[in-house]
Structure 1
Amino acid sequence: MALKDMLAKARAAATGAVTQHHAKIDQGITKIGEVANTKTAGRYEDQIAKGSHHARAGLDKIRSDRPDSARPNTDGLDTDGPAPGTPDPR
């Protein structure tokens, strides 16, 4: 099994786990934020809230992530070659 296949399999497993346990992970993010606010006596409440927001955004991104092969090509560009303005590595 090639490294690329192993990584794809691990990514699919992680995405599945995040999708399955999304609510528990979200509760964990909330709990961690509450504990951090308590430990710091609210001094860093804004930074903790911002970090929690970014963690939830990352969680949602992982949850909604699909393999590249399952994504429709909606931009109308050819995805086989390099991006415009970049050298072709082939």
Structure 2
Amino acid sequence: MGLLDNLKAKLGPAKGKVSDLAQQHGDKIDRGLDKVAKTVDERTKGKYSDRIQTGTGKAKGAMDRLAHKDADGMSGGGHTPGTTPGGPTPGGPASGGTPPAGPPPAS
């Protein structure tokens, strides 16, 4: 086993515990993130508001991924069907849900 395999094996049970805690206390974590973001924004006099909001959103997203599990017990964090990390796939829900039947009509 490589170093990363050993590390993953040792951290596996901890991830499950963190996930359970995130599920139980998600609302408290969200409030805490908002409170910290507000305090930092006030202390920096709004100079970094956009960065603070971005960071807060990313932290909440990571917490949500930890808290939600798929039906097979795996951690959530996959992508929504019909989308890719770069955006919606052709024929996915964002484009009307059905792919075109054939080539575009000739003009």
Q: Deviations over 1:29-56 (max 9, x none)?
A: 0001100111000111111111111111
Q: Secondary structure at the match of 1:42?
A: coil
CA distance in 2: counterparts of 1:19 and 1:40, whole angstroms: 32
Q: Match of 2:18? A: 14
- Bigger proportion of residues as helix: 1
Deviation (angstroms), 1:28? 0.7
Q: Which amino acid aligns with 1:19?
A: Q
- What RMSD, in angstroms, separates the aligned Cα atoms of the two structures? 2.2
Instruction: Give the greater-gyration-radius structure (CA).
Output: 2
Pick one of 34, 43, 60 that aligns with 1:56. 60
Give the TM-score normalised by the residue count of structure 1.
0.65
Cα distance in structure 1, aligned partners of 2:56 and 2:17? 24
The equivalent of 1:28 in structure 2 is 32
How far does residue 66 in structure 1 lie from its aligned partner after superposition? 5.1
Quick one: which of 58, 70, 73 aligns to 1:70?
A: 73
Distance 2:15 2:61 in 1: 18
Whole-Å separation in 2 of the counterparts to 1:65 and 1:54: 18
Unaligned runs of 5+ in 2: 1-5, 75-107
Alpha-carbon separation, structure 2, partners of 1:43 and 1:36 = 10
In structure 2, how many angstroms separate the alpha carbons of the residues matched to 1:39 and 1:33?
10
Partner amino acid for 1:70? G
Greater relative CO, 1 or 2 (CA 8 Å, sep 6+) = 1
Return the offset for 1:27: 0.5
Q: Aligned pairs, how many?
A: 68
